[in-house]
């Protein structure tokens, strides 16, 4: 029954007949099954109608067709109207939304659970990082009256730890908005990942989905909600579906979920933005807080204080600070990391238990430095007691620099013995300097071609243009010779020219759109691009050539080649860089294989299937198609950079190995250095190549006095 009132049109289902114990087969509810059934039924109905009209004769068939098609049109209008009314009042809209949210939650949980395992935070057991609202964080937090949204409200006890970080959102007396501050290496990213995993594990149907995002990719000129929606669409292209919005407008499904409060963003690394963007980000977060949005933000303490002093605190938001790891817990962690018969750590453990504010105690007060100490001294030939006796051990900074400097030789100690880490540091330093130049922490594999000073991006473009130019010249010369000898008709010459123009059009399209993004095969995108290119070109070419046939052949050829070469759409953010590479590689190979096959068929009509020219032109077109994709550019860039010994030949394998060893971490489709301090240390200065003998230690940068040559 349809009930119409003054506020809305609703469909109310009134049960008339109740049926019990009615078992519905599983196939009965599958859309594909019903599609096939309706397709077969429509085909049979069309055949039956055609037979009936033919048997009635031409004169009567004309009258019958008007009646039949008029009735079918009226029926279609009625069915469409009723379907719209049914969807308008469909009570299952919430269940459809929950399916989308459950899919998002599953993808996020799998991604960050795997990354948490890759970072080995549980070896030997997770450090229980604690946090609380301290005097320092209170100084950059809005008053408690603003936080609790109550006039005259006093402070409340807000604190937590790593093991139960999600419990802070179980409280009703504090908002679900939190800023986590901490010193470099204090465990902010560690806590953000664990919070995401915990929130997703305890999520109930209808609750928001926690999504971990890198704040470094946010340009605060864009509103926070719009940026989050774009990030969600990049992760799942299905969220770009248009749905009705307020005031008779439309918006993407991702934007609708964000506006409805069904997404809880965790923005990690606000300090990775430059100073101006940090201030703009705080203003954007303040607007979001006033609008009632919920979020979690991590940032270094000093940059956040500077931004707050410039533009004020975020209202209605708790600001907490990560506390140092107690020296007793650090000592226990190091002790449990070693075997029972390993007594090398005894002096260090005894010192940590008694020292108080000694340099080593202050240095080993963060999860990063504790992990570095475990990693650097995992080799039994190294003596951890140098952390107490070496000259660089007289200061906290000297200890930290020593640990950072000897990380790479330690993690690659099994590779080349005495030369461990030298080759790895060379190519890791190339990537680290590239990231510093780009002012980013994200190591995107599709940006490898932009590494300076080797102009691999330009090399890719030059190679592509040369290939296409040779193809066009080759095809034009062969076409001219063939037309002079009357051996080829004009239409086949047009096919050769159209192929070259199609490759040039694809290159132009990629330059002005998304040349440097990973892509995936898209039939819809290819069809849309074909229509956009072929339709206007057919009109122009027909008028210029004064031949509809030549115009049609040229338009179809150019449109087909352009669509096959560059019709793939941007791929969603994958759960790992290896998955992203595989997706773009598949798109590149499918594009190249399809264009190669089309070229073989077309050129075989010109020169014959056995002619080498047929296969040469097909190979040139296929290679040009590969270079249009990020994977092709990545491969060529790797070859060029490996020739100058700046990157390894098998870069993909080396990056995956560095991630496995803990030097890199994965954040969706990109790699990042495990910490910014590691990136900066590798980028600034090469590691020491002096390899210690048994019982001795390598000389670090802190041992080298000004004007003194570094040993090599």
| 638 within 8 A of 647, measured Cβ to Cβ | yes
Higher pLDDT, 488 or 182: 182
∠ CA 374-380-383, rounded to 5°: 75
CB atoms < 10 A from the CB of 380, how many? Answer: 11
> Cα separation of 406 and 699, whole Å?
10
In the structure encoding, which two tokens stand for residue 239, read together? 């969220």
> Poorest-confidence range of 38-42, 267-271, 328-332?
38-42
Tell me how far apart the 2 most distant CA atoms of the chain are, in Å. 109
For the segment 536-567, what is each residue's pLDDT rounded down to a tens digit?
777 777 667 666 777 777 788 888 888 888 88
For the segment 105-138, what is each residue's pLDDT rounded down to a tens digit?
999 999 999 999 988 888 899 999 999 999 999 9
> Is the pLDDT confidence value at 271 over 50?
yes
Look at residue 8 and give its three-state secondary structure.
coil
> Poorest-confidence range of 308-312, 361-365, 506-510, 570-574?
506-510
Torsion on CA atoms 268, 271, 276, 282, rounded to nearest 10: 50
Q: What is the mean pLDDT of the chain?
A: 81
| 606 within 8 A of 496, measured Cβ to Cβ | yes
Sign (positive/negative) of CA torsion 226, 218, 212, 240? positive
In the structure encoding, which two tokens stand for residue 457, read together? 């991006």
In the structure encoding, which two tokens stand for residue 360, read together? 């080593």
Nearest partner of 511 among 559, 590, 443, 566, judged by Cα: 566
End-to-end CA distance of the chain: 87
Q: With cut-offs at 50, 70 and 90, classify the pLDDT of residue 425.
A: confident
For the segment 87-108, what is each residue's pLDDT rounded down to a tens digit?
444 444 567 888 899 999 999 9
Higher pLDDT, 74 or 353: 353
> Is the pLDDT confidence value at 414 over 90?
no
Query: What is the percent of the chain where pLDDT is above 90?
Result: 45
| 18 within 8 A of 93, measured Cβ to Cβ | no
Nearest partner of 441 among 242, 672, 700, judged by Cα: 672
Rounded to 5 degrees, what are φ and ψ at 611? -75, 130
pLDDT at 25: 45
Alpha helices in 390-547 (DSSP H): 396-405, 407-411, 413-416, 422-438, 456-484, 490-511, 523-545
Peptide bond into 124 cis (omega under 30): yes
In the structure encoding, which two tokens stand for residue 265, read together? 């963003």
Nearest partner of 695 among 448, 382, 257, judged by Cα: 382
For 319, which DSSP code?
A: E
| 488 within 8 A of 479, measured Cβ to Cβ | yes
Domains with residue ranges and CATH for the chain: 9-91 (no CATH), 131-322 (3.40.50), 345-364+380-451+648-686 (no CATH), 456-643 (no CATH)
The single residue listed with the structure tokens 């132009």 is 508
pLDDT at 249: 84
Q: With cut-offs at 50, 70 and 90, classify the pLDDT of residue 194.
A: very high
> Cα separation of 484 and 479, whole Å?
9
Peptide bond into 453 cis (omega under 30): yes
pLDDT at 636: 87
User: How far from chain centre, in Å, is Cα 508?
Assistant: 25
> Is the pLDDT confidence value at 56 over 70?
no
> Cα separation of 688 and 699, whole Å?
7
Look at residue 479 and give its three-state secondary structure.
helix
Please report, for residues 60, 190, 461, 581, 706, the alpha-carbon distance to residue 573 in angstroms, rounded to integers and kept in the order given: 60, 21, 25, 11, 47
The mean pLDDT value for 147-157 works out to 90
> Cα separation of 624 and 595, whole Å?
10
For 245, which DSSP code?
A: -
Nearest partner of 496 among 621, 648, 603, judged by Cα: 603
Look at residue 264 and give its three-state secondary structure.
strand
Q: What is the DSSP string of 654-691?
A: HHHHHHHHTSEEEETTEEEES-HHHHHHHHHSPPP-PP
For the segment 10-55, what is each residue's pLDDT rounded down to a tens digit?
333 333 333 333 443 444 444 455 555 665 666 666 666 656 656 6
Residue 569 β-bridge partners: 520
User: How far from chain centre, in Å, is Cα 409?
Assistant: 30
């Amino acid at each position: 029954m349809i009930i119409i009132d003054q506020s809305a049109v609703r469909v109310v289902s009134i049960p008339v007949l109740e049926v019990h114990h009615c078992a519905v087969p599983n196939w009965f509810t599958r859309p594909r099954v019903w599609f096939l059934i309706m397709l077969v039924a429509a085909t049979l109905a069309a055949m039956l109608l055609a037979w009936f009209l033919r048997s009635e004769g031409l004169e009567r068939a004309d009258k019958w067709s008007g009646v039949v098609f008029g009735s079918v049109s009226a029926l279609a209008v009625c069915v469409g109207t009723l379907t719209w009314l049914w969807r308008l009042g469909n009570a299952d809209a919430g269940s459809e939304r929950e399916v989308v949210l459950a899919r998002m939650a599953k993808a996020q949980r799998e991604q960050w659970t795997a990354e948490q395992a890759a970072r080995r935070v549980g070896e030997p057991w997770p450090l229980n990082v604690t946090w609380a609202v301290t005097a320092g964080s209170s100084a950059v937090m809005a008053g408690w009256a603003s936080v609790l949204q109550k006039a005259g409200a006093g402070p409340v006890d807000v604190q937590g730890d790593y093991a139960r970080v999600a419990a802070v959102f179980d409280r009703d007396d504090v908002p679900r908005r939190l800023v986590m501050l901490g010193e470099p290496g204090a465990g902010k990213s560690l806590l953000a990942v664990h919070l995401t995993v915990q929130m997703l594990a305890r999520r109930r149907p209808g609750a928001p989905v926690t999504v971990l995002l890198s704040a470094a990719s946010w340009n605060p000129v864009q509103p926070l909600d719009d940026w989050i929606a774009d990030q969600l669409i990049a992760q799942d292209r299905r969220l770009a579906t248009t749905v009705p919005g307020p005031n008779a407008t439309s918006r993407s499904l991702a934007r609708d979920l964000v506006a409805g409060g069904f997404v809880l963003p965790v923005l990690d690394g606000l300090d990775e933005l430059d100073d101006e963007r940090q201030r703009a980000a705080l203003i954007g977060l303040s607007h979001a807080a006033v609008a009632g949005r919920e979020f979690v933000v991590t940032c270094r303490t000093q940059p956040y204080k500077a931004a707050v002093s410039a533009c004020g605190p975020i209202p209605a938001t708790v600001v907490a600070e990560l506390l140092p790891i107690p020296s007793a817990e650090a000592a226990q962690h190091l002790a449990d990391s070693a075997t029972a018969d390993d007594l090398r750590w005894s002096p260090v453990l005894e010192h940590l238990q008694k020292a108080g504010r000694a340099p080593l105690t202050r240095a080993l007060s963060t999860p990063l430095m504790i992990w570095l100490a475990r990693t650097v001294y995992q080799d039994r030939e190294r003596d951890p007691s140098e952390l107490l006796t070496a000259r660089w051990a007289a200061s906290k900074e000297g200890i930290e620099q020593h640990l950072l400097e000897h990380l790479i030789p330690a993690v690659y100690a099994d590779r080349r013995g005495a030369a461990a880490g030298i080759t790895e540091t060379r190519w890791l330093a190339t990537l680290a300097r590239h990231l510093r130049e780009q002012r980013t922490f994200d190591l995107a594999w599709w940006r490898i071609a932009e590494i300076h000073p080797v102009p691999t991006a330009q090399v890719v473009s030059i190679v592509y243009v040369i290939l296409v130019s040779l193809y066009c010249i080759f095809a034009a010369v062969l076409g001219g010779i063939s037309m002079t000898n009357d051996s080829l008709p004009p239409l086949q010459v047009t096919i050769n020219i159209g192929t070259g123009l199609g490759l040039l059009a694809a290159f132009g399209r990629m330059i002005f759109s998304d040349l440097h993004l990973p892509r995936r095969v898209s039939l819809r995108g290819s069809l849309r691009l074909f229509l956009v290119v072929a339709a206007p070109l057919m009109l122009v070419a027909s008028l210029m050539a004064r031949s509809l046939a030549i115009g049609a052949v040229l338009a179809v050829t150019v449109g087909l080649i352009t669509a096959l070469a560059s019709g793939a759409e941007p791929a969603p953010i994958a759960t790992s860089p290896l998955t992203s590479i595989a997706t773009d590689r598949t798109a590149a190979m499918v594009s190249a294989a399809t264009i190669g096959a089309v070229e073989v068929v077309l050129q075989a009509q010109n020169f014959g299937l056995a002619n080498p020219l047929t296969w040469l032109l097909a190979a040139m077109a296929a290679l040009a198609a590969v270079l249009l994709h990020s994977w092709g550019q990545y491969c060529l860039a790797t070859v060029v950079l490996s020739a100058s010994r700046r990157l390894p030949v098998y870069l993909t394998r080396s990056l995956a190995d560095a991630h496995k060893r803990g030097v890199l971490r994965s954040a969706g489709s990109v790699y990042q250095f495990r910490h910014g301090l590691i990136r900066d240390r590798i980028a600034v200065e090469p590691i020491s190549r002096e390899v210690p003998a048994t019982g001795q230690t390598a000389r670090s940068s802190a041992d080298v006095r000004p004007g003194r040559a570094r040993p090599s």
